[in-house]
Amino acid sequence: MAQDAAGPPWAGLEDYHLDIITRTDEERVRIADVTAPPRDFTSAWAFEKNPAGGQTVRARDTADAFSQPAKNLTFEQEMDFRLGNGMFERVWVSAPASTLASDGLGPLYNARSCQRCHLKDGRGHPPEGPEDSAVSMFLRVSVPTQQADTEAMEAYIAGTHPTAPDPTYGTQLQDFSLPGHAPEYRLQIDYEEVEVALSGGETVTLREPTYTAADLGYGPLHPGAMLSPRVAPQMIGMGLLEAIPTEDILAWADPEDADGDGISGTPQIVWSDVYDQPMLGRFGHKAGNPTIQEQTASAFAGDIGISNPIHTAGSGECTDAQTDCTAALHGGDAEQGGFEIDQVGLGLVTFYSQTLAVPARRDVGDPDVLRGREVFFKTGCADCHRPNYVTHRLEGNDPASFQLIWPYTDMLLHDMGPGLADNRPEGRASGREWRTAPLWGIGMTETVSGHTYFLHDGRARSLLEAVLWHGGEAEAARNRVVEMPPEDCEALIRYLESL
């Protein structure tokens, strides 16, 4: 990839969030060997049954399959996991309340607990009817601007797409509110059917959504407001994704498609409020947060209205234009540093999110699964859904240390075409780009979440529909799926269901 003398904007990014033990030359050789592109598709590969390495747990056939602690936790770590789980499930109430540790909700919010969006630590869904409360889905909002947030961002993130919060509604629309406050909006989704013909004569009907922020509670949105729908993603394996070396992710970056394969992944770069440095974006549908701690803090503030050491406003995401909201009594507690959740609580929820286990693969040696795996690779799906990595070797008893993992993602941004475009830039991500979603556990979605809705907004009602929505850099792979024999398509879906 051609670069100027200074290198690409992501040159020099470091993993400030990890206590790293530098890999030896011998380890690098072993890692290159174990993560080399596969050649043999006739049998199960070594270690692929355990997608999370030593953290992998037995696959359960119950709704709590995504709610288990990583297998390699120490006794003390499992206690922290349990405490974090309790805080993840905590139902927050308005201030003032007798339960000082649980008050501070809102005044505007999308949910009263983390668990309410990530039910059973699984995937959220769009509303299934006019009476269904869309608590696991919301709209992000921003307006264009010519100014980046800081000079440091301008210096480190050349090519960014600068945006600003809506002056009235901020960066996220909340559809619930405390008594005496108006909710910001009601989410309205209208679907139009789109038919896709497959080679075997089958027709698949996709549903193309249009999103409207209806019943606005604080006046009109900015004329240039850009809306983007977001469904809560599954929670498993996040600590392992956080421990993948930045250099291993950046090795796949090819923004100019110098190798001519049609795939031009771009790293997201975000400013870390914790480390006061630019870092690789890893979490969120557009990789807008660099660490699980910052992703968790953002969710507490934006989704529940809970102040914390990173997002300190007691009124959550309320803006200066929402004067009743900013003036409302909040639940800041002197014993918690004046916040509604302190660093200890935030750390416990972060640790819980880092150590939710990935279930073991099912049927890895099944002939249909093996055939589907070959189709997956030869169709080009693995060009973005990269199969495996080895995490950093880390100090202490860090459960993410030096694990061979199979998340099926490159953690990069890709142009997914006009069909999936939200037309809302975020950082380096354009309005057509999304982070490659990890695929581990995707076949257990119905078991855990009771539905089979996929993609960033849940528009796809099956794995096949999700594949058929792929465009842009994935257009060629998607077309191969459309044109392949029905038995190959069935095998591909069977493989995805085994992940």
The pLDDT value given to residue 133:
59
- pLDDT per residue, tens digit, the chain (499 aa), is 334 556 788 888 999 999 999 999 999 999 999 999 888 999 999 999 999 999 999 999 999 999 999 999 999 999 999 999 999 999 999 998 877 788 999 999 999 999 999 999 999 999 887 666 556 899 999 998 865 445 445 544 555 667 899 999 999 999 999 999 999 999 999 999 999 999 999 999 999 999 999 999 999 999 999 999 999 999 999 999 999 999 999 999 999 989 999 999 999 999 999 999 999 999 999 999 999 999 999 999 999 999 999 999 999 999 999 999 999 988 888 888 889 999 999 999 999 999 999 999 999 999 999 999 999 999 999 999 999 999 999 999 999 999 999 999 999 999 999 999 999 999 999 999 999 999 999 999 999 999 999 999 999 999 999 999 999 999 999 999 999 999 999 999 999 999 9
Q: Which residues contact 284 (CB under 8 A, 6 or more apart)?
A: 295, 435
Name the one residue in this structure whose structure tokens are 């896709």.
196
- Cis bond leading into 107, ω under 30°? yes
Average pLDDT, the chain: 93
Query: Where do the domains of the chain lie?
Result: 20-498
Q: DSSP character for 181?
A: S
The pLDDT value given to residue 428:
92
The pLDDT value given to residue 333:
82
Distance CA 105, CA 330 (A): 8
- Asked whether the beta carbons of 315 and 328 are under 8 A apart, the reply is yes
The pLDDT value given to residue 154:
52
The pLDDT value given to residue 160:
63
Which H or E element spans position 370?
A: helix 367-379
- Enumerate the H helices of 303-342 as residue ranges: 323-327
Q: DSSP character for 303?
A: I
The pLDDT value given to residue 472:
97
The pLDDT value given to residue 132:
66
The pLDDT value given to residue 74:
98
